[in-house]
């Protein structure tokens, strides 16, 4: 089971408590470890966390700087722990604008954990669903130009194979916290048939108990993928 989470509401959580927005982001970073652990207990095999979007660069410079500092600290503090817990880490998005030391840490962590099997943790940083598609299109065009691929060979699978999530199943469920009812450019291609869950609680308030309730609700749903399932087959169907 692949779950994607749009971790929203950190700043608003802090403002409501009279705290700087960055304190909310810090609390949100601490929540990640709880949700990764809960995922392994709930049968989630791939977890994708939307950490920083391509649009987040538009935020105030001090907030962006603070977010990057938190991300750097998360990598440093959890580098060994993630590997020891058998967690495979992948980074989604274009790393080019990130600081060189961050890119190096990310590369080392992916290499260190590449053979781990308990759960795959995708961290989407400087990620956008449209940007993912643009970069995939460029890779495909390059192959057409060098003759290793023809235009007639291009299928939906070809596009999937050139996205950041190549060789991974599409998300079964996408959760957004903090009550907003939009996808915010998250996994645009991959989420075509994902189930959605919008939770009123902000990300710092998104406890493993709430997470388990959302997963339980998902498992009561019948997924049709555009087909019509006979009434007699709906009860208890897990597709």
CA geometry: angle 111, 113, 118, nearest 5 deg? 155
Walk across the sheet containing 195-198 and list its strands: 87-92, 119-127, 46-53, 2-6, 173-176, 195-198
Active-site annotation holder among 8, 131, 132, 164: 8
Between the CA atoms of 160, 1, 194 and 110, what dihedral angle is there, to the nearest 10 degrees? -40
First to last CA, the chain: 11
8 is an active site residue:
yes
Residues in the chain: 239
DSSP 125: E
81 is an active site residue:
no
CB 5 within 8 A of CB 48: yes
SS3 category, 189: coil
Q: Which residues are 176's β-sheet partners?
A: 6, 198
- CA–chain centroid gap for 234, Å, is 30
SS3 category, 196: strand
Task: Give Cβ neighbours of residue 29 (< 8 Å, ≥ 6 apart).
Answer: 70, 71, 73, 74
Active-site annotation holder among 34, 56, 94, 167: 56
Kind plus residue range of the DSSP H or E element containing 5: strand 2-6
Q: What are phi and psi of 195, to 5 degrees?
A: -75, 150
Q: What is the largest CA-CA distance in the chain?
A: 59
- The residues annotated with a catalytic role in the active site are 8, 56
């Amino acid at each position: 089971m692949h779950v994607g989470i749009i971790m929203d509401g950190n700043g608003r959580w802090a403002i409501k408590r009279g705290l700087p927005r960055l304190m909310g982001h810090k609390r949100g970073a601490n929540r990640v470890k709880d949700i990764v652990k809960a995922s392994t207990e709930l049968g989630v095999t791939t977890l994708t966390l939307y950490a920083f979007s391509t649009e987040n660069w538009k935020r105030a410079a001090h907030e962006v700087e603070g977010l990057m500092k938190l991300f750097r600290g998360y990598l440093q503090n959890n580098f060994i722990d993630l590997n020891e817990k058998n967690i495979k880490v992948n980074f989604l998005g274009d790393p080019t604008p990130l600081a060189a030391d961050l890119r190096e840490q990310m590369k080392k962590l992916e290499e260190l954990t590449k053979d781990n099997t308990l759960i795959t943790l995708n961290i989407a940083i400087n990620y956008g669903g449209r940007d993912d598609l643009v970069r995939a299109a460029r890779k495909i065009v390059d192959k057409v130009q060098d003759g290793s691929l023809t235009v007639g060979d291009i299928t939906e699978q070809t596009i999937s194979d050139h996205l950041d999530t190549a060789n991974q199943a599409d998300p079964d469920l996408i959760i957004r916290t903090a009550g907003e009812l939009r996808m915010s450019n998250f996994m645009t291609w991959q989420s075509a048939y994902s189930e959605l869950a919008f939770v009123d609680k902000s990300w710092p308030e998104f406890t493993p108990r709430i997470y388990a309730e959302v997963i339980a609700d998902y498992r009561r749903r019948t997924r049709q993928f555009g087909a019509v399932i006979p009434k007699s087959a709906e009860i208890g169907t897990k597709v």
